[in-house]
Structure 1
Amino acid sequence: MKRHYTLTIFPILLLTLLLRKNGQAQERSGQEYALDTVAVLPRSTVKNIGFGTQPGQRITSAISTVYGADLEKNFTLNLGNTLYGRLAGLSVTQGGSEPGLSTPGLFVRGLNTFGAAGNSPLLVIDGYISNGAGTSNAFMQLVPEEIETITVLKDASATAIYGARGANGVVLVTTKTGQEGPLRISFSTKQGFNQAQYLPKFLNAYQYGVLYNEALANDGLPARYTNADLEAYRTGSDPVFHPDVNWYDQVLRPAAPVSSYNLTFGGGDKFVRYFVTLNAIKSQGLFKKFGDRNDESANSNYSKYNFRTNLDVNLTNRLSAEFKIAGSFEQTNNPNNYTTGSTFNLLAQLPPNAFPVYNPDGSYGGNALYANPVANLLSTGFYTNNSRTVLSSLKLTEQLDGLVKGLSASVAVSINNYFESGSRKSKQYPRYSISKGAAGDTIYSPAVGQLTSLAGSEETLDQYRNLIVQAFLNYKRTVGKSDLSAMLMFNTDNVTVFGPASDPTTPTANSTDPYKHNGGAGRFTYAYANKYIAEFSAGYMGSELFAPGKRYGFFPAASLGWVLSGEKFLTNHKAINFLKLRGSYGLVGNDNIVSQGLSSRYAYTATFGGGGYFFGTGNTPVGGLAENAIANPNVTWEKEKSLNVGVDATLFKHFDLSFDYFNRDRYDIMVASASTTPLFAGIVTPNLNNGKATNTGFDLALRYTTTQKKNLHFFVESNLSYFKNKVVFNAEAVQLNTRLYATGAAIGQPFGLKAIGFYSLEDIARRQIDPGSVPGVLSEVIKAGDIKYQDVGGPDGKPDGIIDANDRMPIGNPGLPTLSLGVHTGFRYKGFDADLVFQAVSGNTVYLGGNYFQAFQGNGQVAPIALTRWTPETAATADYPRLSSKDNLNNYQFSSFWQRDGRFVKLRSAEIGYSLPAGLADKIRLKTVRFFVNGTNLFSLDRIPYGDPESLTGYPVIRTLTLGLKVQL
């Protein structure tokens, strides 16, 4: 605990020292350091290109940038959730909404490889790679208030310097630094609430009973509920023996408070410049306050505290230092478990008439089949997990103009730590089912479960340490019309992971071999007359993942640029202010292949596992060892040949355009050897680098900004991204139905049965006479109203009279949208300002599954979607199969019937603000005062009436509304 206090107090102590010095700075410089921007942002002419910066006019690679001040316009608990619709070429997928567990997926230019994983981009914070086993926390835990820019590198010219880790794109974060000028203090706060954007709707007890009786009748079984039962459910006259419980209402509240606070200091002089920020975010979960009702439970809440100190010091005229230390502390409290997944699964399953929340004697209702959600949250204890992330770095730079003009050398070290611990306080409770006796009395069943006292355990959930060492030589010089810049760097990073034990209930002290990367990189850029630009970059990188002698690879890339607007024939063109053509080609790699099916982390070595044999007449087993998958000494990283052609333009002084076309050929993808080695060989073959895939598409970014005319300033910017990928080769086993080959299909293409309607009464009559005339699944007795599937399971896709796994085919689209559009717009008029971000996606499919949509399956509920079910009377209009009380093996196959178009348009964030006039602010001795109203995830226009297309199950998608205040001294 002492360490925590030290890390928190350090920035404050450092700030105190800096403030003492700042009195001199105010005398030396009259510059102002603005920490606040409103609505319309000045766009920097210098861009982060990875391990360095470059003027935007000379960039010949494909990049997209968003500014931290833009991202402050919403309220989220995770940095990734601020990026929806913000960057051309970056796809962001919903990762849930539960506080502390809402990490989204990031994809640069879509999916470029296939397998269990390996599509995530490389994440870099202030030049230090933050990827590694478990280490993406550092990126997601940042807050917008500490960020200057986030830049996405998308082509080989930009990512080749990252070697075998850059093929999936790179996301760079640059944090804010201090600027020369007097002390500037900024404080902001947001106060508001979360609410569920949509809660699943299930039918009430009366409707449940009517439809369940119908399902039983369809299955040839007697009714469970009498007319008297149904009437009691309908009128609510007997809530004890005929309950009608809305379990979501019992467990959730309509809104939960949220708050955030941010305090920032910045300033300095030509010797010392500093930036310090402290941030606190709190969010109470949607659960009711069960901790207030029971001392042995807890209220659901999440809190995060961030701090950052960035310090730049000129030690001498030639030697400078950059020191950064930042951290994040998170704590999550929940009743019943660390996360809420099991509670929401139970809420989706539990029928409204299963039992009352409380029995007449005050005991908990329940039975052996279902637990009681309220009791779970009140009487099974509480769970707390804490995580701490600390990022620290020191970089020294020496100007070597005395040796070579324009030359500098740098050395840097970064040490990062992450630790997550958990505290379990658990207990059990008894629950009782009840029935009505002959005399009308209440009969209690034997207890399910028993009352136990609260017991605690402490455990380590995750831990890692990361050491990065870098060295640079930078050269920059202008000779006549020629501008030259070059960079050479060496990087080594070592990540040691102390992962959780195989039994999550057991405290862990496990560790793995360090994940290590060594590499060098270089970049050379030549520009002539600010019109002709050529750049060569390359990375040379190795990893311990591969066999000795095959651990290192070379990844070159080149790019060219031509600034046409600098030519005489366009110099005086009034419509074209700036026009640049550019193109790049190169080789990049992806070594994130462990989760794509390697037999082990070190697949180049043989491994042995459990084996044995039975001896004697008693078949006595004798233990032994047997070879696992055969070693693959040639295992290597994926490779990609990447082409990018682009154009950048500024037209009529107000209109900015950037367009990129890309073509990516990925090869050496890890795939099974099913098409080359038959199973009857009796050996477990390793996966091989035989797979291939392609991905083509485009990115488009547009921006229009008005000039400052009187008091009105307006801007609108948009980005459009599209990709189309294909599996070129996947070494698949021979299929009877050629439609089942993933080769030739899109990456992530779903394969399932194609629904072609419902079986009719005539179909069933024909099937009884000749089963082969009407195909059906062999494991189910087909009845009228069941889903009918297309029969293509025979040779060459011809019918074979049965429906089985061979009848699957490509259905729908993958889950990642292929087309994404983002629109960011805003204005400022006098003291008023507004900022809005819209996002639209298309080309994806979502699947309706589980208790939310499949009536009575797994002893579950029934939702309104089942009201349009098939019956003999509604056969012509039904769009839902007949009801069944059992787990129907025909109707709930993975099929096109349950797929829906996943396109949507969402208002991701909106903010309206008002700033006090400067004269009035001065009277209260403040530089600026701004009040604002902020909303996040405000509405969705989509084709899914049953919930949010990004997250149909689990913790509800959250809408947030806040009131805010920002002041600057």
Structure 2
Amino acid sequence: MKLTALLLTVACLQLSATGYSQNISLSGTDIPLDKVFSSIEKQSGYFFFYKYKEIEQATPVSLNLKNIPFKQALELTFQNLPFTYSIEDKTIIVSRKPGSTLAKDESLTIRGRVFDTYEPPVPIPGVSIIIKGKNTGTTTDNDGYFTIKAEKGDVLVFSMISYKKREYTVTRSEKSLTISLENDVAALEQVVVTGMSEQQVKHIASSIATLNVKSNIEGKPITSLSQALQGGVTGINVNQGSGLPGGDAAAIKIRGITTLNNSDALVLVDGVPMDMNYLDPVTIESVTVLKDAAAAAIYGARAANGVILVTTKRGVPGKVSVTYDAYAGVQSPNQIPDFVDAPTYMRMYNVAMVNSGGQPFYSEDDIQKTLSGEDPINYPNTDWADLVISKYSPITSHSLSVSGGNELARFAITGNYLYQDGMIPVNHANRYTLRANTSISLSKKFLVYLDALTIKRNTLYPNRPLDNGGSRILDDMYRLPPTVLPKYPDVEGYPTMYGRYADIVNPVAYAERGGSIKYEFAQTNINLQPKWEVFPGFNLKGQFSFRLNSDVYKAQRDNYYFFDYYTNQLVQTWAVQRDAYSQTRDTYYYLAGSADYTLRANKHQVFAIGGYSMEQYNNGYYDISSLLSGFAKVNYSYDDKYLLEGSIRVDGSSKFGPGNKFGYFPSVALGWNLHNETFLKNSSLIKNLKLRASYGQLGNESIGLYQYQNLISATDGTETSWGNPNITWEKVNMFDVGTDISLFPDKSLSFTVDYYNKVTKDIILKPVVSLVGAVGKSPLNAGSVRNTGLEATFTYTPSLGKNLSLTFKPGVTYNKNKIISLPGGDLINAVTIQREGYALGSYFGYKTNGLLQASDFNADGTPKIPVVVTDAAPGDVKYLDLNHDGSITDADREVIGDPTPKLNYFADVSFSWKKFDLEFLVQGVGKYDYSANIAGKSSGYLWNPLNFDYSGGVPTNYRAANTWRPNNTDALFPRLLANPNRNTLYSDFWLFNGAYTRMKFIQLGYRLDSKRLKLLGITSLRFYVNAQNPFVLTSLKQTDPESGGGSWTYGIMKTYTFGVHVGI
């Protein structure tokens, strides 16, 4: 009131009749009154004085003022309003007309702006904004602004051609609401991330594949991104070798194994090499797989095994969005060994002794006392699997994401916590991740990404003496007989005593008293990417990335005591308390710059990019490797019909010697969009038909350091390794031809088929160890490997009505691997061999023909055929004399198997009905040779079931039932022996068909979508239940065909979870 009095006083002192000569122009429909006042102020120099709340409730006005005198413009503005005005000098005082009342208006005014989701975001003019269920609406102006009145609870629908519709529920008035609309890939050609850039699919002539993030990642209880690739993309062999908490990531091979060195694919996250499994899957925006040379050649030296590009989510202009994703559940082993009980074990032990010419070890009285269970201390019957393996272990994950911003700055921040408990004692893992992605528009032409990621992972394992491997406890479980007591009753004044058997450590002992081993991993990533649009179509980009890794090892062990199984005496072992600590750190630097230009002229479109990169890795032990690279790529399309791609990359690596440091990797690709030709353009059947062909060369520098130099021991000056200054890059030449087809007007049926021929030359080999000084021979480029394969993906999305949808997506990959050149002959490494004409890493051993039977022996017991030992008998393995020299020797060994499956397949099926969704994924491989007695798998419970020499294991009931006996001659396994070495020679007898079909997951979800929830600010709410790896179909028994099984293997876990997604 004091302000009003002051203004009136000043106005009275300075009355003037001037100022009414200005002309006003103002046109528009439903213009808010305060906007009208603002426009008149700008044109006239006058200022309005009014009560904002009254003006805000006023009905918007529609005006068409074109160069109207100031006074007349005011009269036209106020003529239908419940307001009057007076002019005091340069102030227009607005007040209510005497006796007038404002109609009660419960409507809310929503003012805002609409942007797209590009970086930097651009305002969208002409967006239609309709109140759902009402004939009221407006559109955005040329700058993307809009104003609309709505009631609380109304739903605003934003729509625009080529953009996805978006709904917004009104809860209050908004002065600066920001809405972002996503491109509709069904209306526009899909844009995907490719090498160093983004391109429309219609302009790509190379072989790439994109992972459906929504189907394979979002709302799925996966602990690592690599697991999501299994069953998501053809051409990829994803093998999850373990379910160990903190170690359950999968190994990924793209289009076969190409080398004896590292065959893992290159993974780039936001342009920087890193382990994708450290990422929180919630933060993933897109995953693109570059499969052929034309797509991957721009990454040169690191692309020989294929490239996986991962981008993370960024903030978009709009209201701050908060999402919470969580799941909790239990994990359960897929296989728990079904060991024989102690009486069965004792009888089998006696049979083995008799078969070996000895006497039974256990008396029948001992067996009966064990069977009765009356004296479990002296006659134990222990189920070690029941003591060691937990049938259920918890798992939980929580992710909280906050994102938003405006046209000047956007952000996306996500924190995640993951906890996994193990199925073995003293075993769990937890992971903390925090990612902050920031986009800053310093101007309309200059954009900067500043991203930070920090990761902390702690993993705890039991501390087994003489071994630091967490899963070694499983090996002890397989090898300890059921006749050993886990722990003796406590006696006052004495320490707790544990049962002991030879050199096998009691897992109960070190689970309770052995302490723990803890690995602490921490990583910090900083990624800075500026982008400057110098002029339309021409951009300059830069990137600097820094990564710091820290690994800490902590070990602690307490004292504990054993009771000796053999001497029946108390003995003290592992009694020294031990603490250990070590720490390592490594750093990685990446610096890159590029320039790209897009030219569109009539029917021609050219995209060109060129740049450089420098990177350095230091593992903290003075081992430093560097890579210096330059690259260029051109994409050309004519009339969206004819496509041409070409690229060249030059890499210089410190891993090679002078004169061999640089490699040159070119590629070319051709494409033809036949559906754009006049003879197909109007086809009602064929809506997309593209033919593609490419050829290029890739490099591989994934080898050890200093292989071009001799290494000398700092201790005594002796040479520890011989180098070769002439070794150079492994080179991969790849030819690819493929087609992409979509049928029917809605493109509901689509196919993608590729054939490839991939030859790796100059493979770096290390010949067998020299007999002089036991120093390995120097490495050399001396081998070639061919991978040929066929990939096919089929997608069917029929139209089933408004409330029902179906997507059926099967895929199959066939890859054949063969060594085509190996100068110097075979390379044999124990039970594997590299030999021309066979697959890399083929199994090498004896061929067999089942088991020896009585018919293979003469009446006097002498064998009719060559045998491996003179006292061979029925029930032993029947080896074949391949060279027909009358004896079984090393000369009879041959290639006996291939450890890599040729066929991989999957089928993803998803349904949705109203608010329910159901999805399941089936994945499997065709026949491959699973070895039961290769080192590292140690399935001794099969081939050495009684552990006489402590290298085998306790038999399972399956092994016991299928053992050769005189009354069971058609058995799967040999007879029992005290020394089974004659039957454990590496041979195809112990190779089994590893083919399997696994249900990867089944998931049922329900989405709550109500007006009441939106009024509470909840934009999305979904619940789901998920069963991951619930079952597998395979002929293998008591082992997991994917992880490889065996007594040292921590198998893949079944996981059952309940999850929720909340959006605010």
- Structure 2 length normalisation: TM-score? 0.78
What's the offset of the Cα at 1:741? 6.7
Residue 287 of structure 2 corresponds to residue 150 of structure 1: yes
Superposed CA deviations along residues 666-712 of structure 1, whole A, max 9, x for unmatched, are 111123568xx998999974232120111111111221223472211
Residue 381 of structure 2 corresponds to residue 244 of structure 1: yes
Matches of 1:78 and 1:671 in 2, distance apart? 33
The AA in structure 1 aligned to 2:689 is L
Question: Which residue in 2 is equivalent to 1:54?
Answer: 199
Superposed CA deviations along residues 360-389 of structure 1, whole A, max 9, x for unmatched, are 635322244333211111111122221111
1:457 to 580, 589, 597: 580
Matches of 1:101 and 1:693 in 2, distance apart? 30
Matches of 2:263 and 2:774 in 1, distance apart? 33
What's the offset of the Cα at 1:897? 1.1
Alignment of 1:218-257 (within 5 A): 218-257=355-394
Superposed CA deviations along residues 318-356 of structure 1, whole A, max 9, x for unmatched, are 211011111221112233256422211100100111234
64-73 or 514-523: bigger deviation: 64-73
Question: Which residue in 1 is equivalent to 2:597?
Answer: 475
Cα gap change, 1:869/1:529 in structure 2, threshold over 3 Å: closer, same or farther?
A: closer
Question: Which residue in 2 is equivalent to 1:162?
Answer: 299
Matches of 2:342 and 2:756 in 1, distance apart? 56
Question: Which residue in 2 is equivalent to 1:108?
Answer: 254
Q: Provide the identity percentage.
A: 28
Checking the alignment, whether the CA contact within 8 Å between 2:410 and 2:438 is kept in structure 1 is yes
Matches of 1:301 and 1:578 in 2, distance apart? 50
Question: Which residue in 1 is equivalent to 2:791?
Answer: 699
Checking the alignment, whether the CA contact within 8 Å between 2:964 and 2:972 is kept in structure 1 is no
Question: Which residue in 2 is equivalent to 1:862?
Answer: 955
Matches of 2:609 and 2:754 in 1, distance apart? 26
1:350 to 477, 480, 496: 480
336-345 or 422-431: bigger deviation: 336-345
Question: Which residue in 2 is equivalent to 1:335?
Answer: 462
1:326 to 443, 449, 453: 453
Question: Which residue in 1 is equivalent to 2:1050?
Answer: 955
Cα gap change, 1:455/1:946 in structure 2, threshold over 3 Å: closer, same or farther?
A: closer
Residue 270 of structure 2 corresponds to residue 126 of structure 1: yes
Checking the alignment, whether the CA contact within 8 Å between 2:819 and 2:834 is kept in structure 1 is no
Determine which structure has more spread, i.e. the larger CA radius of gyration. Answer: 2
What's the offset of the Cα at 1:583? 0.7
Checking the alignment, whether the CA contact within 8 Å between 2:513 and 2:558 is kept in structure 1 is yes
Cα gap change, 1:456/1:629 in structure 2, threshold over 3 Å: closer, same or farther?
A: closer
**SS at 2:680's partner residue?**
helix
What's the offset of the Cα at 1:33? 7.3
**SS at 2:1042's partner residue?**
coil
**SS at 1:343's partner residue?**
helix
Question: Which residue in 1 is equivalent to 2:432?
Answer: 305
Checking the alignment, whether the CA contact within 8 Å between 2:853 and 2:969 is kept in structure 1 is no
Cα gap change, 1:604/1:248 in structure 2, threshold over 3 Å: closer, same or farther?
A: same
Q: Can you give the 5+ residue segments of structure 2 that lack an aligned partner in the other structure?
A: 1-170, 934-938
The AA in structure 2 aligned to 1:865 is Y
Question: Which residue in 1 is equivalent to 2:918?
Answer: 834
Residue 379 of structure 2 corresponds to residue 259 of structure 1: no
Matches of 1:183 and 1:763 in 2, distance apart? 81
Checking the alignment, whether the CA contact within 8 Å between 1:869 and 1:880 is kept in structure 2 is yes
2:521 to 384, 387, 391: 387
2:801 to 704, 709, 731: 709
Cα RMSD, aligned residues only: 2.9
The AA in structure 2 aligned to 1:118 is N
Question: Which residue in 1 is equivalent to 2:512?
Answer: 378
Task: Answer 1 or 2: higher relative contact order, Cα 8 Å, separation at least 6.
Answer: 1
Q: Can you give the 5+ residue segments of structure 1 that lack an aligned partner in the other structure?
A: 1-22, 131-137, 289-298, 436-442, 499-510, 595-600, 611-622, 793-797
2:710 to 606, 611, 615: 606
Checking the alignment, whether the CA contact within 8 Å between 2:908 and 2:920 is kept in structure 1 is yes
**SS at 2:369's partner residue?**
helix
**SS at 1:645's partner residue?**
strand
What's the offset of the Cα at 1:965? 1.4
Superposed CA deviations along residues 815-848 of structure 1, whole A, max 9, x for unmatched, are x221111111212211111121110211312112
What's the offset of the Cα at 1:119? 1.1
**SS at 2:368's partner residue?**
helix
Checking the alignment, whether the CA contact within 8 Å between 1:672 and 1:731 is kept in structure 2 is no
Checking the alignment, whether the CA contact within 8 Å between 1:483 and 1:526 is kept in structure 2 is yes
What's the offset of the Cα at 1:148? 0.9
Cα gap change, 1:219/1:706 in structure 2, threshold over 3 Å: closer, same or farther?
A: same
Question: Which residue in 2 is equivalent to 1:922?
Answer: 1014
Matches of 2:612 and 2:328 in 1, distance apart? 46
2:865 to 768, 774, 781: 774
Checking the alignment, whether the CA contact within 8 Å between 2:809 and 2:908 is kept in structure 1 is yes
> What is the aligned length?
869
Checking the alignment, whether the CA contact within 8 Å between 1:832 and 1:912 is kept in structure 2 is yes
Cα gap change, 1:762/1:359 in structure 2, threshold over 3 Å: closer, same or farther?
A: farther
Cα gap change, 1:458/1:673 in structure 2, threshold over 3 Å: closer, same or farther?
A: closer
**SS at 1:565's partner residue?**
helix
Matches of 1:343 and 1:681 in 2, distance apart? 37
1:851 to 916, 922, 940: 940
What's the offset of the Cα at 1:870? 5.2
Cα gap change, 1:538/1:735 in structure 2, threshold over 3 Å: closer, same or farther?
A: closer
**SS at 1:447's partner residue?**
strand
Checking the alignment, whether the CA contact within 8 Å between 1:664 and 1:696 is kept in structure 2 is yes
Matches of 1:732 and 1:783 in 2, distance apart? 40
**SS at 1:230's partner residue?**
helix
- Structure 1 length normalisation: TM-score? 0.85
Superposed CA deviations along residues 476-519 of structure 1, whole A, max 9, x for unmatched, are 12111111111111111101102xxxxxxxxxxxx133111110
**SS at 1:852's partner residue?**
helix
Cα gap change, 1:723/1:356 in structure 2, threshold over 3 Å: closer, same or farther?
A: closer
**SS at 1:715's partner residue?**
strand
Cα gap change, 1:920/1:718 in structure 2, threshold over 3 Å: closer, same or farther?
A: farther
699-708 or 601-610: bigger deviation: 601-610
Matches of 1:693 and 1:232 in 2, distance apart? 61
The AA in structure 2 aligned to 1:351 is P
1:490 to 612, 617, 638: 612
Alignment of 1:29-40 (within 5 A): 29-31=177-179
2:240 to 60, 74, 94: 94
Matches of 1:390 and 1:252 in 2, distance apart? 35
Superposed CA deviations along residues 256-304 of structure 1, whole A, max 9, x for unmatched, are 111111111222222112211111111111235xxxxxxxxxx532111
What's the offset of the Cα at 1:86? 1.1
Superposed CA deviations along residues 718-758 of structure 1, whole A, max 9, x for unmatched, are 2211111210112344799xx97711112222111111122
Matches of 1:519 and 1:735 in 2, distance apart? 34
Cα gap change, 1:630/1:345 in structure 2, threshold over 3 Å: closer, same or farther?
A: closer
Checking the alignment, whether the CA contact within 8 Å between 2:486 and 2:509 is kept in structure 1 is no
**SS at 1:568's partner residue?**
coil
The AA in structure 1 aligned to 2:539 is S
**SS at 1:879's partner residue?**
coil
Cα gap change, 1:682/1:225 in structure 2, threshold over 3 Å: closer, same or farther?
A: closer
Question: Which residue in 2 is equivalent to 1:187?
Answer: 324
**SS at 2:376's partner residue?**
coil
1:634 to 726, 740, 745: 726
Matches of 2:390 and 2:772 in 1, distance apart? 58
Matches of 1:624 and 1:269 in 2, distance apart? 66
What's the offset of the Cα at 1:66? 0.8
Alignment of 1:483-522 (within 5 A): 483-498=605-620, 511-522=621-632
Cα gap change, 1:187/1:41 in structure 2, threshold over 3 Å: closer, same or farther?
A: farther
**SS at 1:774's partner residue?**
coil
Question: Which residue in 1 is equivalent to 2:998?
Answer: 906
Question: Which residue in 1 is equivalent to 2:663?
Answer: 553
Cα gap change, 1:627/1:931 in structure 2, threshold over 3 Å: closer, same or farther?
A: closer
Matches of 2:600 and 2:1039 in 1, distance apart? 59
Matches of 2:851 and 2:602 in 1, distance apart? 78
Question: Which residue in 2 is equivalent to 1:597?
Answer: none
Cα gap change, 1:389/1:54 in structure 2, threshold over 3 Å: closer, same or farther?
A: same
The AA in structure 2 aligned to 1:604 is Y
